[in-house]
Amino acid sequence: MSAVQSPGADASSSSVGHILRPGLDISHKVILYLDDISVSFDGFKALNKLSLAIDAGELRCIIGPNGAGKTTMMDVITGKTRPDTGTCYFGQTLDLTRMTEPEIAHAGIGRKFQKPTVFENHSVFENLELAMKMDKRARVSLFAWLDDTGRDKIADTLRMIRLDHEADRPAGLLSHGQKQWLEIGMLLMQEPQLLLLDEPVAGMTDDETERTGELFISLAGKHSLVVVEHDMAFIEQLGGKVTVLHEGSVLAEGGLAAMQADPRVIEVYLGR
């Protein structure tokens, strides 16, 4: 994709870009902190005094029955839904309940919805290029030819999402699983510190699911990941701490084996 020339562009845009992303204070190792969050829809409590903390670099899985509040929790974190009560912090200092959706995205929280939303008529490479240019922090690159750093970043991402041999293919011709990887790659182009992934392997083949697990494991550490899933084999592969949500609050938390042996978890979710 060739660059667009804009009359307003100048070199000073690059310094503005850095100011848009405040430094994240994770000195207490916690990257995301939810406390006593409640959300009601017409009197029904979708979230009910939910408290949760995610460590920097952690790969956390969230499970629970339909309607438990998993997606609503992600809506609160990303600013789509305002909680009635409670606090929600990104790092030590950023109060997410006082930020807009774009501010939260710019602060470093990326969200993957269930349905892949890629630009079908553009190549895989161009999709990643567009994602990089949509990053407000790198605004100057929208008005310039892609530089070597940008190219390297796209090449690294293509390898990571296993689409390096598909770079020139129109995204519309990819399999469902490949489209999901491309969308994850597009999120990664914006270098989020925290990734929220809502049912990322739904509709994938077993092989694609396993490869997705490998990708998430490789991303943990550098990024923090919160993964909502119903696929227990996938959660077992990820191997992180599991939080069980039920009726809008945390029912239990721990290793998957402990959750699978917990009578309360079996009763509300796994035993069905």
Ligand X SMILES: Nc1ncnc2c1ncn2[C@@H]1O[C@H](COP(=O)(O)OP(=O)(O)OP(=O)(O)O)[C@@H](O)[C@H]1O
Binding footprint of Mg ion on the chain (CB under 5 A): 70-71
Residue 17 makes contact with ligand X by CB under 6 A: no
Nearer to ligand X by C-beta: 5 or 66?
66
d(CA 31, CA 208): 29
Residue 2 makes contact with ligand X by CB under 6 A: no
Residue 249 makes contact with ligand X by CB under 6 A: no
Which of Mg ion, ligand X, none does residue 174 bind (CB under 5 to 8 Å by kind)? none
The answer for residues whose C-beta is within 8 angstroms of residue 84's C-beta and 6 or more apart is: 38, 39, 40
SS3 53: strand
Q: How far is the CB of 91 from ligand X (least distance, A)?
A: 24
User: Which residues within the stretch 55-84 sit at the binding site for ligand X (CB under 6 A)?
Assistant: 64, 66-72
Place of tokens 């917990």: 262
Q: How far is the CB of 72 from Mg ion (least distance, A)?
A: 8
Nearer to ligand X by C-beta: 79 or 185?
79
d(CA 99, CA 232): 34
The answer to whether 88 touches 96, Cβ cutoff 8 Å, is yes
Which of ligand X, Mg ion, none does residue 69 bind (CB under 5 to 8 Å by kind)? ligand X
d(CA 147, CA 134): 16
Residue 41 makes contact with ligand X by CB under 6 A: yes
Q: How far is the CB of 49 from Mg ion (least distance, A)?
A: 19
Residue 203 makes contact with ligand X by CB under 6 A: no
d(CA 123, CA 101): 28
d(CA 127, CA 124): 5
How many residues in the shown chain lie near ligand X by CB under 6 A? 10
Residue 224 makes contact with ligand X by CB under 6 A: no
Q: Which residue is nearest to Mg ion (CB)?
A: 71
What's the count of helices (H) and strands (E) in the chain, helices before strands?
10, 10
